[in-house]
């Protein structure tokens, strides 16, 4: 009968080094909830609003800009369409927040989604409907996309030092801080109910 091998267990290694003492570890500090919100939550909320939720002067949020720039570098401005999964995978070099979020962004910018005044993504396949809750888009492996011809105006002179480039999240490549747009990019179409009809 074979002998059972015993697992070798190595002693737990301290994370902060030997003989490191954390001051006030384990003590409960009382503080008003308003003070906690000001010191912890407010800086985080402002960072999210400023860097993710509000469009920059070019009219794009970071997720839109990263996706469009990736499609531009893939040659999808004048080339043929490619599978959406390829675009999503390449965009993750700039936007590491998961493939589902990137694909949803591309779907909302597509021609078939009908949610923009000027569609920026020429989509092929089931990209869903903006006004339908039940008609979801197909998976990214089934749909195809490329940039609309109007996107030429988004990238005009981008290689002539018109905008600043910064390193991506891991420093392996660079991305533009803004796109050198030559026309205003209004993200959402206006609903007629928002305006009073002239009499």
Provide the annotated active-site residues. 142
- Tell me which residue of 65, 75, 145 sits closest to 113, measured CA to CA: 145
Strands (E) in the chain, as ranges, are 82-83, 121-124, 144-147, 165-167, 174-176
Parallel, antiparallel or unpaired: strands 165-167 and 174-176: antiparallel
The span from the CA of 29 to the CA of 155, in Å, is 53
Alpha-helical regions (H) of 109-151 = none
């Amino acid at each position: 009968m074979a002998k059972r091998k015993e697992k070798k267990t190595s002693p737990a290694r301290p994370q902060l080094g030997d003989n490191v003492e954390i001051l006030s570890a384990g003590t409960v500090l009382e503080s008003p909830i308003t003070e906690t919100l000001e010191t912890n939550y407010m800086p985080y909320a402002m960072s999210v609003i400023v860097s993710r939720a509000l469009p920059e002067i070019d009219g794009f949020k970071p997720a839109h800009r990263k996706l469009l720039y990736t499609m531009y570098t893939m040659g999808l401005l004048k080339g043929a369409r490619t599978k959406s999964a390829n675009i999503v995978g390449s965009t993750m070099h700039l936007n590491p927040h998961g493939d589902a979020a990137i694909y949803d962004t591309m779907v909302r910018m597509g021609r078939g989604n009908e949610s923009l005044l000027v569609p920026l993504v020429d989509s092929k396949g089931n990209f869903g409907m903006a006004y339908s809750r039940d008609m979801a888009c197909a998976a990214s492996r089934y749909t195809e996309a490329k940039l609309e011809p109007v996107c030429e105006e988004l990238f005009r002179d981008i290689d002539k030092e018109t905008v600043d480039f910064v390193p991506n999240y891991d420093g392996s490549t660079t991305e533009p801080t803004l796109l050198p747009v030559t026309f205003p990019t209004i993200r959402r179409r206006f609903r007629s109910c928002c305006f009073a009809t002239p009499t």
